[in-house]
Amino acid sequence: MQQKPDHHLFENYKNKLKREKKIVFSWQIIILIGFFALWEIASRLYWIDPLLFSSPSKIVNQLIDKFSDGSIIPHVQVTLIETVLGFIIGTILGILIATILWTSRRLSKIMDPYLVIGNAMPKVALGPIIIVALGPGYISIIAMGAIISVVITTLVVYSGFREVDPNYEKVLKSFGATRWQCFKEAIFPATLPTMISTLKVNVGLSWVGVIVGEFLVSKEGLGYLIVYGFQVFDFTLVMSSLILIAIVAGIMYKIVEKMESWLIKHTG
């Protein structure tokens, strides 16, 4: 007798969540359409300089032309591969360093000020040094994407390790578990949501590192197209590249968001 009302309440709750998601998504689409509509109107009525800021219609036409002749596809592929590799390497290195710091409290205390200083340093300024050290190629650009995210990943993940309820570790130790077993069975799984959330931040950071690297050294990629567009005063090409970066970064963000939803669903 009690199950039907409970089931009805749960269905109402699920429907409420779905409605809320639809409302949020609708507003996101409205804001996006409104932004591009205002941009187009402002460009056509000369509220903004159409030479400098271009317009959505010109950008769409240019992207259609460049995708049709295939000239922009290699640039998108190069930047995407560099970003994904930098993203993965930076995230894995950050998690590994955070794990090493967790295993030794003394080491974590020693390294704490250096991590804070490293996070405060403008990693972009290291670009020329990285290029000289690793050479003007893909490796230096990928390294830029990784370095710019590795420190923040280390700080966030290590903080996540420390914030796990210490009672988990005490319970496992009472059954004779080693420190490594405590980490593997309790600390690491409990911090997975934090790691996934960190990936969202790393998506943006990796793009920043890779694009800056392409500004400095690359002869292909979306960063190169932005620089080339400025050199030849083709600001439509610049804006088209920026729009492509926003689209691909948005897709990467959504993939990470799906991973987070799946993880919460299967570990909750």
Q: What is the pLDDT of residues 200-250, one digit of tens each?
A: 888 888 888 898 888 888 788 999 999 999 989 999 999 999 999 999 988
Residue 19 or residue 1, greater confidence: 19
Give 6's pLDDT tier (boundaries 50, 70, 90).
low
Q: Which two tokens stand for residue 188?
A: 């690491």
**Longest CA span, the chain:** 75
- Do the Cβ atoms of 160 and 194 come closer than 8 Å? yes
Distance CA 259, CA 109 (A): 33
Whether the predicted pLDDT of 16 surpasses 90:
no
Q: In the Cβ-directed half-sphere of 33, how many Cα atoms lie within 13 Å?
A: 6
Share of the chain above pLDDT 90, in %: 32
Give me the chain's average pLDDT, please. 86
Q: What is the pTM of this model?
A: 0.83
The residue whose two tokens read 């259609």 is 64
Condensed to tens digits (0 to 9), the pLDDT of residues 50-96 reads 988 999 999 999 999 999 998 899 999 999 999 999 999 998 999 99
pLDDT of 264 > 80? The answer is no
pLDDT band for position 1 (50/70/90)? very low
What is the average per-residue pLDDT within 107-131? 82
Q: Tokens for 248?
A: 């691909």
- pLDDT at position 266: 65
268 vs 168: which has the higher pLDDT: 168
80 vs 121, residue with greater confidence: 80
Cβ neighbours of residue 176 under 8 Å, at least 6 residues apart? none
Residue 22, token pair as written in the block: 């639809």
